[in-house]
């Protein structure tokens, strides 16, 4: 996978006292160019991205690093950990904030993983992208990039963890989700709402900065495979029976409603929970996994009693990210269980 060198980009500066913002580009729709057959693919470099937004010259001094230039579906957690090391490596320089641009398909996962890994980073880290590519009327990439830099350059954004800025809304990585395949308002935070907005050229937050300590407190030298399985009407245990055979070291199950599965899958889940962490999430996309509301076979209370771990407020995607990083940091089963409990306190 090709990586690119960091390069200084000359843009008009109104004053040398402007904040210094690092822009790290990964590709995606925001960087798309025509392929010649009516479609698009990531092809714009970071220099061209900021050249398309001349207003940036009045906001910050920008340094560009082309980290990747690929669709976001091709990114891996290994890439994200390398990205986190790049961001951490800036701690000693004069950088006031970091903006990451990437495709929106996996943006919520990248932002959440960065939020877990960069717990000690005091400067703002903002992730953004685009829903409309640059060839379309009303492309939102330039506006999102400008808003993201305005947030990253704001001292008010510090201490809030990794942020996602899309459509002039500021979301915490902990809660944000992509909820639409094409709308420019695709990103929402179902359980919390946005924590701020970008208005009249500046970040405005709805509450004072607060961030719980990260449950991930160890380095992550490797990323083991973790499966994500969604329960569906009429499901059985055939897929579950292959999880361990295929070499997965952890499993996240997206159950119905508040955390329920068909009774036909109970035995397989019980066996798996004896050999690996099995996390129970809800497939609904909003709300929490309950703990003691239902009592039938395959209900949340039944599954938790069998050793499954509650995802709490986390959906399946974020549960998989957290479990992958915990296992990569060599947390044992009891420590994984405690980490999910602590995250949801």
Domains 6-205 and 226-343 share a fold: yes
pLDDT at 220: 97
Q: Which two tokens stand for residue 316?
A: 């399946």
pLDDT at 183: 97
Provide the whole-model pTM: 0.93
What is the distance between the terminal CA atoms of the chain, rounded to a whole angstrom?
39
Q: Which two tokens stand for residue 274?
A: 């004896």
Top-level class of domain 226-343: alpha beta
pLDDT at 4: 47
Q: What are phi and psi of 228, to 5 degrees?
A: -125, 120
Q: Which residues of the chain are modeled with pLDDT < 50?
A: 1-2, 4-14
Q: What are phi and psi of 37, to 5 degrees?
A: -120, 20
Domain coordinates in residue numbering, the chain: 6-205, 226-343
316-328 vs 77-88: helix axis angle to the nearest 10?
A: 70
User: Which contacts qualify for 133-136: CB closer than 8 Å, 24 or more apart?
Assistant: 133/29, 133/30, 133/32, 133/40, 134/30, 134/32, 134/33, 134/40, 134/44, 134/52, 135/32, 135/33, 135/34, 135/40
Between β-strands 32-34 and 250-255, what pairing exists: parallel, antiparallel or unpaired?
A: unpaired
Neighbouring-strand partners of residue 253: 229, 280
C-alpha to C-alpha distance for 72 and 306, rounded to whole angstroms: 36
Catalytically active residues are 29
C-alpha to C-alpha distance for 187 and 6, rounded to whole angstroms: 29
C-alpha to C-alpha distance for 266 and 218, rounded to whole angstroms: 33
**What does the pLDDT look like over 312-343, one tens digit per residue?**
999 999 999 999 999 999 999 999 999 999 99
pLDDT at 44: 85
Pick the CATH number of 6-205 from 3.60.15.10, 3.40.50.2300, 3.40.50.1170, 3.30.930.10: 3.40.50.1170
């Amino acid at each position: 996978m090709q990586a690119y060198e960091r390069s200084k980009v000359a843009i008009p500066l109104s004053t040398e006292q402007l904040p210094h913002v690092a822009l790290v580009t990964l590709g995606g729709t925001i960087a798309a160019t025509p392929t010649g057959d009516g479609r698009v693919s990531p092809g714009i470099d970071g220099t061209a991205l900021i050249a398309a937004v001349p207003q940036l010259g009045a906001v910050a001094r920008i340094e560009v690093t082309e980290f990747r230039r690929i669709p976001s579906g091709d990114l891996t957690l290994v890439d994200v950990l390398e990205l986190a090391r790049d961001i951490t490596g800036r701690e000693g320089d004069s950088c006031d904030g970091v903006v990451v641009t990437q495709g929106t398909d996996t943006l919520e996962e990248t932002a959440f993983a960065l939020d877990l890994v960069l717990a000690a980073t005091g400067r703002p880290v903002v992730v953004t992208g685009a829903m409309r590519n640059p060839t379309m009327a009303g492309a939102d990439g330039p506006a999102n990039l400008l808003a993201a830099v305005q947030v990253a350059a704001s001292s008010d954004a510090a201490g809030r963890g990794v942020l996602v800025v899309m459509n002039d809304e500021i979301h915490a990585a902990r809660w944000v989700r992509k909820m639409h395949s094409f709308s420019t308002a695709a990103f929402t935070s179902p359980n919390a709402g946005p924590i701020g907005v970008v208005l009249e050229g500046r970040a405005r937050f709805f509450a004072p900065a607060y961030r719980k300590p990260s449950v991930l407190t160890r380095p992550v030298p490797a990323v083991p495979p973790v499966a994500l399985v969604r329960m569906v009407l009429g499901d059985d245990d055939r897929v579950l029976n292959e999880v361990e055979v295929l070499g997965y070291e952890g499993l996240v199950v997206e159950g119905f409603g508040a955390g329920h599965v068909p009774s036909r899958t109970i035995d397989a889940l019980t066996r798996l929970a004896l050999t690996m962490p099995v996390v129970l999430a809800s497939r609904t996309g909003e709300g929490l996994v309950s703990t003691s509301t239902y009592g039938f076979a395959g209900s949340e209370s039944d599954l938790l009693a069998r050793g499954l771990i509650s995802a709490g407020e986390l959906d399946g995607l974020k549960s998989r990210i957290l479990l992958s990083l915990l296992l990569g940091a060599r947390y044992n089963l009891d420590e994984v269980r405690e980490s999910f409990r602590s995250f949801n306190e």
